[in-house]
Structure 1
Amino acid sequence: MFAIRSSAWRLTSYVALSPVQAFQLRSASRKSFQRHSANAPFPAIMQNNPKKQFDGKKKFKKAKVDKNKSSGHDEVLLCDINNLLKRNEPEQDETNGENAPVAVPEKFTEIDVKIAELSSTGDGLALSENKKYVYVVPFTVPGDTVRVKVVKHFEPLSYSLTDFVKVIEPGPQRNDSLINCKYFGECSGCQLQMMSYDDQLAHKRRIVEKAYANFSGLIPELVPTIGETFASPMQFGYRTKLTPHFAHGGANKKADEEAPVPPIGFTYKNRRLDMDIEDCPLGTDIVRRGLTTERKRVAENIRSYKRGATLLMRETTARVPKEPSAATDSETPNVEGIPASVNADTGDVIRTERENYIEEKRCITDNNATSFEYIDDYVFSNKAGAFFQNNNSILSGFTEYIRSRAIPPGNDQDAKPIKYLLDAYSGSGLFTITLSPLFKSSLGVDIGGDSIISARENARANKLPNTGFAAADAATLFKDVPYPPDQTLLVIDPPRKGCSEDFLRQMLEFKPRRVVYVSCNVHTQARDVAVMVQGDEKQNVRYEIESIRGFDFFPQTGHVEGVAILNRTAFPQAETV
């Protein structure tokens, strides 16, 4: 409970006003949340007055962060290419004092190359004979000698894209017996099926290391050793959501004309063409069944489509008590929007017997239908087409990892212990809800109205009265927070583009004591974490990185998620002579 004094939030006395009500009262007149562009620059504190970095010896070194440096797929790939060329820069030709020119093969020529390294995008990189040019080769590992077809040149950038043709001599990390999909080598969905899972995890740890080395600009002393990648319990059959698509319908065909069924699936690697995918081994069993059913339905009704479409296969889970009279609230939540069970007589279903209940899994194909997911004993409902993590097998370990580190050691002995949680970009409440038992009060904030509706339903379903959610204006988010910064943990889980300029600036003004930064793009995470580490000298606040670790939400792919934990500190005092 909180009171208002003048125009500021103060923890002075108790009135019948919850943190969420207080937050909503202050933010009701704010403008709508405007998300910033993918290339949002760093805050003005970095643009106009780059701060020096503390190196642990009471002196500073200037930041090397390029505030305008993008961190999308192409930029990450180009960074790896440039670093490879730099490490292998040839000596000048002794005959003419210049490096020999690069002879780039004609497009669609087949050549043999040897893979030097694996990029952070999951593509192999091979050097030309004179080591001045790079060929980007998908579906390869370091040490492979392969035949490739050159398909696109980027000569000013010193590289070409190629198609994988065949292996001439495998590298030590290649094991083709591990490949579990007939489309691997053409489909753009997976990159690493020919690698052992241990090698995949090691590669993803290296991705995180390179992200901080290449995109943070921080000196090595400020970045702790990257932890080993947290493994997914399932390496296949883990995706609870698939979204295949097709390019055109058959409504424009005359009655006497054939309406061919277009390819239904995913795109080819290096092409803007759809590949017909009958099955995807990354999907859960029920999602794979749904893919088969949906493909058949589209084929039978292709004339009803005027144009192409993206399909949805989303797993939903129900827990049905073995003895209805012994049902518990956690097994059969029965609040508005969350039924106790789903009619077992409708649609395909996979049932698994557990100790106290029968688990029923179905596939939803309607974006607006409600899906249900369990993480341990927490239940989450969402619109089936909305975002939610797609690998349920890792979520228990993932949330436990964050829960075990949310509160710093010795917090209960602190004069002002952390006891409030602010979850920015909260979505439907994954972290707000799973962390809530640790805190006196928790507040989740998000732009999405549908997400907030789902989050509130999830809080009620899980019986968490100290947990609230509110839609907020990002430009004024921290001005409305009803918690004292010294006792607040901030959890950040932004979209791939990372945090906006306003968000980071105001976060430094708010000064939360501890930050957990979860990211689906470790490159934008590295950029944003650098802003926190550099801090704001006027506010006398900066952050130190406690730990960084990658999480493998998507085995067989080049993707890795990251969790960084930071603690607030002050700028060091100047030494006196």
Structure 2
Amino acid sequence: MESQPKPNHGKRPFKQSHQGAKRSQKKARKRERDMKNGSAEEVLGFDVRSLLDSLNQPEEHASGNGDAASAEETLPEQGSEIEVDVVELASTGDALALQKGSKRIYVLPFAVPGDTVKVKVYRHLKEEQYTVADFIFVVKPSVLRDDSRVGCKYFSTCSGCQFQMLDYAEQLHLKKRIVEKAFKNFSQLPPELIPTIQDTIGSPLQYGYRTKLTPHFDGPQGWRKSKAPFEKRPDIGFMPKGKRSTMDIEDCPIGTDAVRMGMKSERERMDVEFNKYSRGATILLRESTARTTKDASSLAERETPPNAVRVETDGFVDLKTCVTDNNATSTEYVGDYVFHNPAGSFFQNNNSILPEFTDYIRQHILPTSPSTPIKYLIDAYSGSGLFTITLSALFQGSTGIDISDKSIEFARKNAQANNLPESQANFIAADAGELFKSVMYNADETVVVLDPPRKGCDADFLGQLLRFGPKRVVYVSCNVHTQARDIGVLVRGEAGNAEGKIDGPSGTRYEMESLRGFDFFPQTGHVEGVAVLNRVEAPEIGASVEKVAE
């Protein structure tokens, strides 16, 4: 986030003040560029370089250049078909493979270590030191591969899933490695400051878990000029791996039954209404639940509506439907808690793991033997209140903060729906640059929960957090690479402030207590990270500074 210029107060000509603002903004932009972004390309680059280093290890880098051997090779022509042997999986879910007798790395999808695969050479990337290839078929399967596990006929073409051929225990092991490599590559911390990564917590459902899908269709050829409607129903689905077009997909088995029913219904609607569209669009499919207790016999005995899926538990009857209007309200239950959201807004997309996930946060939000009791919770990036509401019973006061007025509006409604008074679950809409200014809690008695978007926290927010200095921080992230980057900042106690300087190294800093992944997205390479941090207290700060400096 760019810092704002200070008011002039009439002491300087406007021109000088404007130039000062530009310099301040330039510094802020530079800080953001310097913070690694955790993109797929950057993550893949680390894994490729690591493999190159291991391949050149016997030669002890005699050439002084890790890509010297591959640079001297005559690479296969683009478009040619070759066989490669897969040696490992990157953190992106892509396979890294070698051609026999070569040290050139080939990056391809839908393969696992031990596979021999026929691929089509797509593009040689000189600076990145690898070649992108398209998967054709498996020549010799790995012992890790069992294609009978594949639950989708579009697997190995659709870009959505990477791991359907793998045993689920192996998927969880791979995701633990993803977390390990994220903190090795992105935190810029010495290994002794990173705790042993715990085993990844699996999802109760490995298929049928996604409560939200967004298939789409492309506009007709030349639609920008012609504005003419479709002459037939377009392909509706998701993008194939490595292509920008849309692949027609009738069904997605990682979606819940209600979402899959909605997908079928929307495709049938488009069979009739395609001529109403002259451009591409995205279709929302969001599960919504209407719950009643089983003692409400009139509803329990009623037939399930044709557009709903009936789910019965010991105490409840849930009727699950699919919402397709972005502005409609969807309802979701996490254990005994209920949450209402704008259907098109963000909410965790795997309900099956949410009760265990929120219970884990509840068990780890407080230290086991605090010297000063923690009485208050700040839920930064609170959204519609998932953590504030599920954790509020543990605190004297809880405050959720978000920059979105709409999210805060729904968070307040959700607090009321869960019978929580404002004194117990308070919500504030605040500009990102002033998130902590409205909070009056004592930092020594406060824990902060962070759950930012994939890009992570910006330098300005981390500076605010360090200046506030809560006793404890729980950082939840859907991108463990930007999470590692941000936690490195907190452990070092360094973040850019509004003047472009660095806070620290003698100020507030943190140490990591625990770190583990949660598998919100089985069959894919994505993993959710949960890290617990404690503020370092004097005189420990001096020792911590020395460790970080080393």
The TM tier, using the shorter chain, reads 0.7 to 0.9
- TM-score (structure 2 length as normaliser): 0.85
Alignment partner, residue 158 of structure 1: 129
State the secondary structure of the residue aligned to 1:479: coil
Contact 1:249–1:304 (Cα < 8 Å) also in 2: no
Shift of 1:573: 6.5
Alignment partner, residue 108 of structure 1: 79
Alignment partner, residue 451 of structure 1: 407
Number of corresponding residues: 498
Which residue identity lines up with residue 492 of structure 2 in the other structure?
Q
Contact 2:85–2:100 (Cα < 8 Å) also in 1: no
Q: How far apart, in 2, do the equivalents of 1:519 and 1:457 lie?
A: 25
Q: How far apart, in 1, do the equivalents of 2:407 and 2:519 lie?
A: 25
Q: 1:183 aligns with which of 151, 154, 167?
A: 154
How big is the alpha-carbon RMSD for the aligned residues of Structure 1 and Structure 2? 2.9
Structure 1 residues 42 and 570, CA gap change in structure 2 (3 angstroms):
farther
Q: How far apart, in 2, do the equivalents of 1:222 and 1:353 lie?
A: 47
Alignment partner, residue 21 of structure 1: none
Q: 1:226 aligns with which of 197, 200, 203?
A: 197
State the secondary structure of the residue aligned to 2:152: coil
Does residue 400 of structure 2 align to residue 400 of structure 1? no
Alignment partner, residue 501 of structure 1: 459
Structure 2 counterparts to residues 37-56 of structure 1, below 5 A: none
Shift of 1:153: 2.1
State the secondary structure of the residue aligned to 2:374: coil
Shift of 1:410: 2.3
Larger helix percent: 2
Alignment partner, residue 499 of structure 2: none
State the secondary structure of the residue aligned to 1:301: helix
Q: 2:163 aligns with which of 176, 192, 216?
A: 192
Contact 2:229–2:275 (Cα < 8 Å) also in 1: no
1:211-243 CA distance string (max 9 Å, x none): 000111111100000000010000000001110
Shift of 1:476: 1.9
Alignment partner, residue 422 of structure 1: 378
Alignment partner, residue 516 of structure 2: 549
Structure 1 residues 368 and 534, CA gap change in structure 2 (3 angstroms):
same
Alignment partner, residue 88 of structure 1: 55
Structure 2 spans left out of the alignment, 5+ residues: 1-24, 494-502, 544-550
**Percent identical residues:** 54
1:52-95 CA distance string (max 9 Å, x none): xxxxxxxxxxxxxx944331011001110111001111639999
Which residue identity lines up with residue 195 of structure 1 in the other structure?
L
Contact 2:180–2:197 (Cα < 8 Å) also in 1: yes
- TM-score (structure 1 length as normaliser): 0.81
Which residue identity lines up with residue 244 of structure 2 in the other structure?
R
Structure 1 residues 40 and 458, CA gap change in structure 2 (3 angstroms):
farther
State the secondary structure of the residue aligned to 2:127: helix
Which residue identity lines up with residue 346 of structure 2 in the other structure?
F
Contact 1:151–1:161 (Cα < 8 Å) also in 2: yes
Q: 1:435 aligns with which of 363, 367, 391?
A: 391
Q: How far apart, in 2, do the equivalents of 1:153 and 1:137 lie?
A: 12
Q: How far apart, in 1, do the equivalents of 2:531 and 2:459 lie?
A: 19
Task: Tell me: higher relative CO, structure 1 or 2? Use CA pairs within 8 A at least 6 residues apart.
Answer: 1
Q: How far apart, in 2, do the equivalents of 1:397 and 1:130 lie?
A: 48
Alignment partner, residue 487 of structure 1: 445
Q: How far apart, in 1, do the equivalents of 2:346 and 2:36 lie?
A: 27
State the secondary structure of the residue aligned to 1:457: helix
Q: 1:70 aligns with which of 27, 33, 37?
A: 37
Which residue identity lines up with residue 154 of structure 2 in the other structure?
Y
Alignment partner, residue 319 of structure 1: 291
Q: How far apart, in 2, do the equivalents of 1:136 and 1:251 lie?
A: 33
Alignment partner, residue 170 of structure 1: 141
Shift of 1:250: 9.8
Structure 1 residues 404 and 40, CA gap change in structure 2 (3 angstroms):
farther
Shift of 1:323: 3.3
Shift of 1:357: 2.8
Q: How far apart, in 1, do the equivalents of 2:467 and 2:220 lie?
A: 53
Structure 1 residues 105 and 558, CA gap change in structure 2 (3 angstroms):
same
Alignment partner, residue 525 of structure 1: 483
Contact 1:517–1:565 (Cα < 8 Å) also in 2: yes
Alignment partner, residue 314 of structure 2: 355
Which residue identity lines up with residue 454 of structure 1 in the other structure?
F
Q: How far apart, in 1, do the equivalents of 2:241 and 2:311 lie?
A: 37
Contact 1:514–1:565 (Cα < 8 Å) also in 2: yes
Mean Cα deviation higher: 157-166 or 82-91: 82-91
Q: How far apart, in 2, do the equivalents of 1:429 and 1:94 lie?
A: 56
Structure 1 residues 94 and 305, CA gap change in structure 2 (3 angstroms):
closer
Q: 2:254 aligns with which of 260, 265, 282?
A: 282
Shift of 1:40: 6.7
Which residue identity lines up with residue 91 of structure 1 in the other structure?
E
Structure 2 counterparts to residues 365-376 of structure 1, below 5 A: 365-376=324-335
Q: 2:337 aligns with which of 375, 378, 399?
A: 378
Q: How far apart, in 1, do the equivalents of 2:29 and 2:534 lie?
A: 25
Shift of 1:198: 0.3
State the secondary structure of the residue aligned to 1:71: coil
State the secondary structure of the residue aligned to 1:499: coil
Alignment partner, residue 49 of structure 1: none
Alignment partner, residue 202 of structure 1: 173
Q: How far apart, in 2, do the equivalents of 1:410 and 1:93 lie?
A: 50
Q: 1:247 aligns with which of 203, 215, 218?
A: 218
Shift of 1:274: 0.7
Q: How far apart, in 1, do the equivalents of 2:222 and 2:304 lie?
A: 33
Structure 1 spans left out of the alignment, 5+ residues: 1-35, 44-65, 328-340
State the secondary structure of the residue aligned to 1:496: coil
Alignment partner, residue 46 of structure 2: 79
Structure 1 residues 93 and 79, CA gap change in structure 2 (3 angstroms):
closer
Q: How far apart, in 1, do the equivalents of 2:105 and 2:406 lie?
A: 46
1:257-307 CA distance string (max 9 Å, x none): 981222100001011111100000000011101101101111211110010
Which residue identity lines up with residue 389 of structure 1 in the other structure?
Q
Q: 1:561 aligns with which of 525, 528, 532?
A: 528
Alignment partner, residue 10 of structure 2: none
Structure 1 residues 345 and 155, CA gap change in structure 2 (3 angstroms):
same
